[in-house]
Amino acid sequence: MTDPTDDIIRLLRAGRTRQAVNLVDANGGPYFGFIHGYEALNALVAAASEEALYGHQTLLSCYCFALAKAGRARRANAILQDKRASFDSVFLRDLIELAVFIHTGEPVTEPQLTRWRQLEGLLPIDNPLQDGLYYNCMVIVLVRLNLLEQARSVALRAIESYRQAQNPSLEFYIHMHLAHASLVEGNLHRARREISMARTLVQEGEQAHATSAAFLEITANTIAWETGRYVPDLPRLLELRQELVSGDSWAEIFNELCRVGAFSLYFAHGLPAALDFLTDCQIDFNRRHGDFSEALDIIAAAVELLDGRTERAQRYAANPPKNQSLVGATGWIVLRGMIAKLSGEEIVPPTAPELGISPRFAVVNELVRASQAKEERDKARQRRHVQNALRFAVNDDLVGIFMEHREVVIGVCAQLASGKFARGHIQLGRMARRVHHLVRDSYSMPQPLSERGITAQQLRVLSALREGASNKQIARKLGLSEAAIKYHLGRLFDVFEVAKRGQLIEKIEKIMVT
C-alpha cells in the first residue's frame, strides 16, 4: 500500500474534507495510523480543522487514536464523552474507548470487562487488522488483571489476526506482552523466546515504531535484573523513562522499568537514590497516564522494607488494593512478595491460581518458609528451604528474587556457597555461589558510615534499631543471638560516642542528613 499521507494533508488544507476522508477510508480508515505509522497519523490530524475532526467518524477515530498514542488518553476519553462526537458505529466507538482506556492508569471494573468481552461477538468479518487491535487491547486488560493464561489465549488470536493483516509491527507488541507475562511468572526461557521473536518482527516491519527499541531494552534489563545483574546507570534509566513518557507506551512497561530501576539503584546506591527515582517516576506516570500509580507506591514500600522500614509495607499488608488492575501484574508480584515477607504466609494468588506453581512463586514460597524457620531459630530448616528455593530457581536462573529476600538468605548463603548440597549439579553450585556473593555485597554502605568503619552486620543492626525494634526482635530478624546484638550495639555506642539507643538513632539521623 502506497503512502497517501501527503495527498490527504493537501486535501484537508484545501478544505476538501470529503475527498480527504474518502482517501483515508481507502487506506485503513480509522486504523490509518496502525498501517502507515504514528507520524503520518499525527500529521493527518494536525492538518484537519476541528470542524472536520468532529464532523467525520473516520477523522475523529484517527484523532482519538493519535491522542492516546501521544500520552493524552484523558483528552481522548473526554472527546468520546463529548456530545459533538458522533459515531455511526457503536462497535467502533466502544473499540476506541477500549484502546484509549489501556493507556490510562485507571482500574478495570467488572461492567467494563463484561462489555469489552462482548465486543468479540460483534467483530466485523474480513477485517483482520481490527480483530488484531481488539485482541491486542484485551491482552493488556487481562495481564493487568493478572489473568495470564487467558491473556495468552487471546494473544494467539491477536498474532493470527496481525499475520493475516500482514502487519509485523503490531505483532511485535503481542510478543512484548507475552514476554512480560512470562517475566511475571519467572519463566525467563519463555520470555527470551518472545523477545527474540519481537526483535525479528521489528526488523521485518516497515512501520517499526520509535519506542520499539526502548521496549526491547527495558525487557532485556528486566531479564538482567532477574538473573542478578544491575541495570544501566541512572542517566540511561532516565532516558528510557522519558521515551515512554513522550512516545507510545502502556502502564505495565512503565512500571516494569521503574521496578527494576528502583531495586537496582537501591542495591547500588542506597535507599535515598531509589526513592528519589520513584518519586520522579510518579510524576512522569501522571504526565503519561494521568493518574497516580499504586504499583510504584508498592515498589517504594518494598524497597523501604528491604532497608528495615516497615510502615508503608504494613499499611499495604493491612489494607491491600481490592482491584488488582490498580497495581497490574508488576505491582501485584511485588505486593504479594512483600505481604508474604511480613506475614509469613505463602502466596495464594486469588484470581490467577496458575501463578501458584510458576517458578517465581515457587521460589518465593520457599523463601517465606525459610523466613518462618528463621523466626523460630531453626537454622537447619531455614537452610533447607533456601536450598529448595535455589533448586526451583536454577532452571530459569532467577537470582534477583534472592536479592529481594536477602534478609533470610544472608544467614545461610555462606554455607550454601560451599556447594555441597549441589554436588553433581554444576549449574546449581554456581548459582549458589553467585547468590552468596550478590547478597553479601548488596548491603550498600552509606559513605558517612563507611568512613567510620561500620560493618555490614552493624548496618543491619542499625536499620532494625531505627525501626524501634528491641534487642530480641533484632536478633530474630537477623538470625543472631541477643548476645551478638548487644555486642554490635556496644561497638556502635563506642564509634558514635553515645550511651543510649535514642542518642545513637538521633546521631545517625543527623549524620545521614549531612
Eight-class DSSP state of 290: S
CATH architecture designation of domain 447-513: Orthogonal Bundle (1.10)
Rounded-to-integer distance, Cα 362 and Cα 22, Å = 56
Rounded-to-integer distance, Cα 94 and Cα 402, Å = 44
Which of 254, 226, 228, 252 is CA-nearest to residue 241? 254
Contact 394, 429 (CB under 8 A): no
Q: Where in the chain is the domain with CATH 1.10.10.10?
A: 447-513
Contact residues for 121 (Cβ-Cβ < 8 A; gap 6+)? none
Q: Which three cell numbers stand for residue 445?
A: 554502605
Per-residue pLDDT in tens (0 to 9) along the chain, 514 residues? 467 999 999 999 999 999 999 999 999 999 999 998 888 999 999 999 999 999 899 999 999 999 988 888 888 989 988 877 778 888 899 999 999 998 887 889 999 999 999 999 988 888 999 999 999 999 999 999 988 999 999 999 999 999 999 999 899 999 999 999 999 999 999 999 999 999 998 876 555 456 888 999 999 999 999 999 888 788 999 999 999 988 888 888 999 999 999 999 988 888 888 999 999 999 999 888 878 899 999 999 999 988 878 889 999 989 988 887 888 888 888 998 888 888 777 665 544 444 446 899 889 999 999 988 888 878 889 989 999 999 999 999 999 999 988 888 887 877 777 767 777 788 888 888 889 888 888 876 677 777 788 877 787 788 778 767 788 877 776 667 788 888 888 888 888 888 888 888 888 877 765 5
Quick one: how far is CA 326 from the chain centroid? Answer: 12
Rounded-to-integer distance, Cα 225 and Cα 258, Å = 12
Contact 106, 323 (CB under 8 A): no
| Sign of the alpha-carbon torsion through 56, 57, 60, 65 | negative
Q: Which three cell numbers stand for residue 108?
A: 478495570
Rounded-to-integer distance, Cα 224 and Cα 67, Å = 33
Whole-model pTM? 0.85
